[in-house]
Structure 1
C-alpha cells in the first residue's frame, strides 16, 4: 500500500525526534540539569505522535514531560510549560476528553502571566478553544466571554490580516446566531470576511471565504434580507463550496487558522 507523503514526513520527524529524546534521556540520567532539554524534546515527540494519530503514546509523552518539569533541579522556562499544557489540552480535546482538556487549557492560561516571551496570540488561541468547549457544554455566556478575551489578546499582538483572528470572529458570530442576536452575528461575520479577504484576496478561492459567505447568507436570510442572502449564496456557488443543508452555521476548528494543533 502506498504511504501518504504527509505520513512519510511525520514518520521521518518521529524517527529524528525519537533519537533526540533517547540521547537527551541518557544525558539527563547522569546529569539532571539536562531535564529541561528532555522536556522540550518529549513535547516535540508528543506533538508528532498526536499528528500520527497515536493518542495514547502522545498523552503519555506529554505527561512525562510535565512530570520532569516538576522534578527538574534547573528552572524550566514557563513558556515551555505553557506550551505543554496548551498542546496537551488540544490533544485531549481532540480525543473527546473535554474535562481534562479544559483543566490543561486553564493551567496554560494560569501560567501565561509568567511568560514574557509568549506572544499574546498564543494565549488567544487557548481562549478560543476554551470558548468552544463552553459552547459545547451550553455555557453560552462563558463562551462569549472567552471569545472576546481571545480577540483582545490577538489585538495586543497587533495582528490584522491573520486567519486566526477571522476564525474567532466567525465562531463568535456562530454563537451570537444561536442566541438570535442576528445583528451582532452579522457584524461578527462581516469582520471575519473582511479579514479573510485581506488574507486571501477578493478573487480568492480558499474554503474560509466559502465559510464566511455561507454564514452571512444564513444570517441575512434570518434577518429577512433575502436579496443579500442570495448574493452570498451566489458567491458560495462560484467557489464550488457545498452548503450543508440544515446544519446551521459553519464553525471553525478548535485550532483557528488551521493546522493540526495550536500555533505555538
Structure 2
C-alpha cells in the first residue's frame, strides 16, 4: 500500500512537471518527466516482486503459522480500498504511460489482496498454511510482467525508438515515392512523451519541383496515414547532376548522415 501511495504521488508530480511550458534549455519542456515516472514505477514493481518472491520461497520451505481469519479480514479490507482506487484510475487517460504505471501498481495490489482472500479461506477451511505463499507467487508473476512492460515501453521512448506500429523504412520508401521527391534521408521518428510522436527528415526534390507544394503534400500524407502531426521537414533541391541513379559508392548528401537513404524510383530527364 505504501508503494501504491508512492506511485500515485510520483505520477501526480510528473504530470505537474510535464504541464510546464517549454523554456530555456528545455526546448521540449519537461514532458519526459512522465516517462521517468513510468520507469520508476516499473522498477519498483520489479523490486517489490523480487522481495515478495524471496519471502514466498522462504516461507514455502519453512511455513510459519498462519491465522486464516486474520488473513481474510486484512485481504477483504485491501480489496475494498484497491477496488475504489482502481476504479478511479481506470477513468484517467491510460494512454499516458505515467498514468499506466500508477494504475499497474494499484491493479497488482488488487490482485494480491484477492489472492490473499482466497488463501485465507483455504487456510480457514483446510489448514493448508502454504496457500498464502502460493498465492503470493502467482502475484509475483503478474508484477514481473507489468514491471517489465513498463520498463520496456518507457525505455523505448527514452532511447528514441520509433513508436510501435510505425515502420521508418516503410514510411521512408513511401515519402520517396511521392511526386517530385528524389530522395529522403536522415529520417527520424520518435516519441516526445506518451501520445506525442514526432518525425524529422531531409527531403531532396527533383530540379524544377515545387518545394513548398512537396512539403505540404508530405505533411498531409504523414498526418492522414500515420497520425504524425509534429513533423520537421528540411526541403532542398537535388543537384541536377544527380538526376541519374547514383553509383553505390557515392557519398551521401549529408556528411555524417544517420540512417538509410530512400531514393525515388522516378527519374527526371
TM-score (normalised: structure 2): 0.26
Give the greater-gyration-radius structure (CA). 2
Higher relative contact order by CA 8 Å / sep ≥ 6: 1 or 2? 2
More helix as a share of residues: 1
Which has the larger strand fraction?
Answer: 2
